[in-house]
């Protein structure tokens, strides 16, 4: 008889209590998720514009692309790129729009730009990794596509002008 009383108490008190707690936790989790999704949607246009600006900033200039792969990049070029990326990250609030993985890759790029031994190939690799992650973050790439090697086009047969003030041929 005492055993049946315990089971009745469990049915009347314990099960509804557990059900309430599970329902409350699920509701809290869903509300957190909904709030985050609403924020992401509200910032989508600003995020896209900001990431486009980062894409533009990380386009390596002719002073770098004209170098041989193993050549060390000039300090003044690295300093200019570093300053542009840091300005985007801090003053233009670009940090708000980066995923954790993209932030890590951006920091890797900044670290490389601050290295006296940074070669063209290393910079291209760091920029490529960051851009691939940005495409993954934006949904342009799937996870499996991001892991595949992309075939690069052959080098341009036309002379790359290093400075914009050179006369055109």
pLDDT of residue 41: 78
- Cα Rg of the chain (Å, integer): 26
**50 and 38 within one domain:** no
DSSP structure string for 16-76: HHHHHHHHHHHHHHHHHHHHHHHHHHHTHHHHHHHHHHHHHHTS--HHHHTS-TTSBPPHH
**51 and 15 within one domain:** no
Residue 160, token pair as written in the block = 């790359």
The pLDDT of 62-73, averaged and rounded, is 92
**pLDDT of 167 above 90:** no
At 4 the three-state DSSP class reads helix
**pLDDT of 116 above 80:** yes
**131 and 92 within one domain:** yes
- Look at residue 163 and tell me if it is in a domain: no
pTM: 0.68
Q: What CA–CA distance (Å, rounded) separates 67 from 141?
A: 30
**134 and 58 within one domain:** yes
- Look at residue 122 and tell me if it is in a domain: yes
- Quick: pLDDT tens for 37-64: 786 777 788 888 999 999 999 999 989 9
- Look at residue 70 and tell me if it is in a domain: yes
Count: domains in the chain: 2
Q: Which structural domain, as residue segments, surrounds residue 70?
A: 44-147
């Amino acid at each position: 008889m005492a055993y049946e009383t315990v089971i009745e108490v469990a049915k009347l008190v314990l099960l509804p209590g557990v059900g309430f707690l599970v329902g409350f936790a699920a509701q809290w989790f869903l509300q957190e998720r909904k709030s985050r999704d609403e924020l992401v949607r509200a910032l989508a246009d600003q995020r896209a514009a900001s990431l486009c600006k980062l894409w533009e900033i990380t386009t390596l200039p002719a002073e770098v692309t004209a170098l041989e792969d193993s050549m060390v990049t000039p300090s003044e070029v690295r300093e200019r790129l570093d300053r542009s990326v840091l300005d985007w990250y801090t003053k233009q609030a670009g940090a708000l729009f980066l995923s954790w993985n993209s932030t890590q890759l951006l920091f890797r790029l900044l670290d490389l730009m601050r290295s006296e031994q940074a070669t063209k190939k290393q910079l291209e690799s760091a920029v490529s990794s960051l851009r691939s992650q940005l495409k993954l973050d934006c949904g342009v790439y799937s996870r499996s596509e991001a892991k595949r090697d992309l075939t690069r086009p052959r080098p341009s047969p036309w002379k790359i002008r290093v400075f914009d003030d050179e006369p055109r041929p």
